[in-house]
């Protein structure tokens, strides 16, 4: 008597395919979560570390209004900043802005801040819309 090879023989393959598709789905949703999380972390760090000067009414905002105009005075509303520029300015300073060294602001934190400031406005806006919520 032979055993039926089909039923049991098929199983590992099906299981493999299922595991693979779960892994792919997981990777995709993790990727998306990652960037939402990074935007949130970057935003929080920006508010803590840069917000003092760069939110409405801060020295940075006032000086940037003078140099670049009101439209480009709030870093969080800019769409023309690049990661390289944000990092460079933060490390070396500019006019009234003091340089921030790697002890004060470690690279991984600056990466998150630069990531946040250079996200498409839609991603940052979607995020700030939660601010009004209780």
Backbone angles phi, psi at 45, to 5 degrees: -65, -40
Closest-CA residue to 43 (of 126, 127, 134): 127
Q: How many residues interact with ligand HEC (rule CB under 6 A)?
A: 23
For the segment 10-49, give every residue that binds ligand HEC (CB under 6 A). Answer: 49
Decide: 91 and 99 in contact? Cβ < 8 Å.
yes
**Distance between CA atoms of 60 and 70, rounded to whole angstroms?**
12
Q: Give the residue, chosen from 10, 29, 37, 59, that forms a contact with ligand HEC under the rule CB under 6 A.
A: 59
Residues 70-99 that bind ligand HEC (CB under 6 A): 75, 86, 89-90, 94-98
Question: What residue number has its CB nearest to ligand HEC?
Answer: 50
64 binds ligand HEC (CB under 6 A): yes
Whether 55 contacts 61, CB under 8 Å: yes
Q: Are the C-beta atoms of 75 and 111 separated by less than 8 Å?
A: no
- Residues near ligand HEC, by CB under 6 A: 49-50, 52-54, 59-60, 63-64, 67-68, 75, 86, 89-90, 94-98, 100, 105, 113
């Amino acid at each position: 008597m032979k055993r039926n090879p089909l039923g049991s023989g098929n199983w590992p393959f099906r299981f493999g395919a299922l595991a693979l598709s779960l892994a792919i789905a997981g990777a995709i949703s993790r990727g998306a979560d990652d960037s939402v999380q990074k935007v949130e972390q970057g935003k929080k760090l920006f508010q803590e570390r840069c917000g003092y000067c760069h939110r409405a009414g801060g020295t940075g905002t006032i000086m940037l209004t003078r140099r670049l105009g009101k439209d480009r005075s709030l870093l969080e509303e800019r769409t023309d900043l690049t990661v390289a520029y944000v990092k460079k300015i933060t490390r070396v300073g500019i006019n009234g802005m003091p340089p921030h060294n790697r002890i004060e602001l470690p690279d991984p934190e600056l990466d998150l801040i630069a990531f946040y400031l250079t996200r498409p406005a839609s991603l940052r806006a979607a995020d700030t819309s939660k601010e009004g919520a209780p």
